Amino acid sequence: MDKAAIFKGSKEGIVLLVNPDLDFTSIVNFLSKTLEERKLFFSGASLLLDTNDRIFSEEELKNLGSLFQKYGVSFRIKGEEKIYGTEFLNLSNLQEEKMAVVTHTMRSGQSIKFDGSVVVLGDINEGAEVNASKNVYIFGIVRGIINAGEKIISLGFQPIRMSIGRKMLEVAPSDKSYRKPRVAELENGEIVFKVIGEKKSLRRKE
Amino acid sequence: MGRTIVVTAGKGGVGKTTVTANLGALLTKLGNKVVVVDMDIGLRNLDVVMGLENRVVYNIMDVSDGKCKINQALVRDKTLPGLFLLPASQIHTKKDINIDKIVEIISIIENSFDYILLDSPAGIEKGFESASAPAKEALIVVTPDVSSVRDADRVIGILENRGILAISLIVNRYDINLVNRKKMLNADSVVDILGLDLIGMIPEDKSVIESTNKGELLVNYANGSPANKAFENISRRIEGEDVPFLNFNSQRRGIFSLFRRR
């Protein structure tokens, strides 16, 4: 093997085979060159790193992680669970979350309280209430009351009352733009709405 | 085997009884045998709306108590031979209702009629429960205002929990002028909030109140009125026909409307 690393397609996705005989700097150099050249191809990918029994130190993994993060790539070492590089909403994380799934639109008078996350496949109408100690994922529009521990992800926000952690929402997104998928979460103790797919934050102007 | 449909709303005064009576009449006109059942025990109205109050002898509570046979309680309409009314009792209250008995009565009626329209009382208590218990399908009547929509939402939730999943929406008293001036909720946003299939819109129409007060059905009182046309379309849609929606905007307006600012 004369190259520092080889990319191979396999059943588990893209596998990155590292040449175990070369030193760390040349591996990093080779990878950053390849990633730069084929930025578009790798962006958003999740690789499996086959080290060929070479052991990376903590420091080296950290360096690799930040290199991959630059290109929006995540990787996992073969035989291990931990994910380095860019963090995606990955399914293994979701399965660890305790979840309650509501398979219909929640209408006035219906409520759910759950220690964990709640998924609603439909709208949350005015007069309905969702309480979750962790996240709430809504495949619809929020018009009712919603209290989440960490994060609220919805296809549209028009809530009457909403809180994340102990913070109550004071101003909801404007009427006109409510039909946009957003993530609501706490940032510096304030609830912020981030449009999914857009980098601009919708922080309320004082 | 007839189709049993509950006409309900949650909120009062949105036109459940009027819709039941007129829809019953128009379904009859299409050649069906229809019975409209007044489930508003203690506050009966359907008989007055249809102008049949003098002909009521027995009522559904008498049937339920075993005082008479179902056939004896059915009142034939004055003009439409295929339309029958099963009146409510005025001396009972909703506490006296035996829901199992009502379900049993309706299931017997189902064998000899094409449509059974149940006129539900307002609210979500026992009266509503007894009206929706025998039904397999539901028509929700809403007027385009926030309180009606909110109540309807609650009712739909309860119906869905009971396993009634064939639910359609009628938007009643729709005033296109108010909607155009953005003073009334438009039908699209009602449908958007409730997420149901819209089966018809009934325009605000004086002739509805007039006919109701006279105790006449709209088909007989004002056959050509926009409201009657809307009821006719709804009944045809219930029958499975694909009828395009009325375009309220094309209604003739006075010459002064040209100058009115929108």
According to DSSP, residue B95 is labeled G
Contact B153 A104 (CB under 8 A): no
- Specify the CATH number for the domain of residue A82: 3.30.750.50
Q: Does any domain span residue A200? A: no
A91, A122, A147 - which closes a domain: A91
Would A129 be classed as within a structural domain? yes
Residues of B in contact with A123 (CB under 8 A): 193, 195
Q: Which residues have CB under 8 Å from A58's CB, separation 6+?
A: none
* B138 inside 8 A of chain A by CB: no
Return the H-helix or E-strand segment holding B4: strand B3-8
Same domain, A139 and A83: no
Contact A113/B at CB under 8 A: no
Of B68, B8, B63, B75, the residue nearest B35 (C-alpha): B75
Considering the domain architecture, whether residues A113 and A59 belong to the same structural domain is answered as no
Helix (H, G, I), strand (E, B) or coil at B234: helix
Q: How far is Cα of residue A35 from the mean position of the Cα atoms in its chain?
A: 22
B221 versus A89: the higher-pLDDT residue is B221
Q: Range of B194's domain? A: 3-258
Could you tell me if A103 and A86 lie in one domain?
A: no
Give the nearest chain A residue to B160 (CA atoms): A104
Would A206 be classed as within a structural domain?
no
CB contact under 8 A, A127 and B193: no
Kindly indicate the confidence band of residue A68, based on its pLDDT and cuts at 50, 70 and 90: confident
Closest approach of A109 to chain B, Cα-based (Å): 6
Say whether residue A134 is in contact with chain B using an 8 A CB cutoff: no
The nearest CA of chain B is from the CA of A127 a distance in Å of 8
> Is A126 found in the same domain as A74?
no
Angle at B17 between CA B12 and CA B22, to 5 degrees: 145
CA angle in degrees (0–180, nearest 5) for B229-B230-B233: 90
Domain carrying residue A155: 97-195
- Closest-CA distance, A106 to chain B, in angstroms, reads 7
Cβ contact (<8 Å) for A107 and B193?
Answer: no
Does residue A47 surpass a pLDDT of 90?
Answer: no
Using the Cα atoms of residue A27, residue A30, residue A31 and residue A32 in order, give the sign of their dihedral: positive
Mean pLDDT of B198-207: 94
Is A179 part of any domain? yes
Q: Which residues of A touch B158 (CB under 8 A)?
A: 109
Residue ending a domain, among A31, A65, A91, is A91
Residue A202 lies in a domain: no
Residues of A in contact with B145 (CB under 8 A): none
Closest CA to A118 of A133, A130, A138, A136: A136
Tell me the average pLDDT across A59-68.
82
Same domain, A188 and A103: yes
Count up the domains in chain A and report the number.
Answer: 2
* Of A104, A110, A125, Cβ closest to residue B193: A125
Tell me, yes or no, if A104 comes closer than 8 A to chain B by beta carbon: yes
Most confident of A35-39, A81-85, B140-144: B140-144
Establish if A120 belongs to a structural domain: yes
Q: How many domains does chain B have?
A: 1
Q: Do B153 and A125 touch (CB under 8 A)?
A: yes
Question: For residue B251, is pLDDT > 70?
Answer: no
Residue A171 belongs to a domain with what CATH number? 2.160.20.70
B7 phi/psi in degrees, rounded to 5: -105, 115
pLDDT the model gives residue B194: 93
Q: Is the pLDDT of residue A200 over 60?
A: no
A177 with A113, same domain: the answer is yes
Domain membership flag for residue A201: no
Residues A189 and A154 in one domain: yes
The residue out of A49, A69, A91 marking a domain boundary is: A91
Residue pair A73/A13 in contact by the 8 Å Cβ criterion: no
- What is the chain B residue with the closest CA to A128? B154
* B248 CA: distance to closest CA in chain A (Å): 26
A10 and A87: one domain? yes
pLDDT at A79: 74
Nearest to B113 by CA among B135, B82, B139: B82
CA-nearest residue to B159 within chain A is: A107
Q: How confident is the model at residue B262 (pLDDT cuts 50, 70, 90)?
A: very low
DSSP letter (8 states) at residue B246: P
Exposure string of B11-21, with b = 16+ CB inside 10 Å and e = fewer, is beebbbbbbbb
- The 10s digit of each residue's pLDDT in A148-181 is 999 999 998 888 889 999 888 876 666 666 788 8
Do A126 and B158 make contact, defined as CB atoms within 8 angstroms? no
> What are the residues facing A132 on neighbouring strands?
A114, A148
What CATH number should be reported for the domain holding residue B86? 3.40.50.300
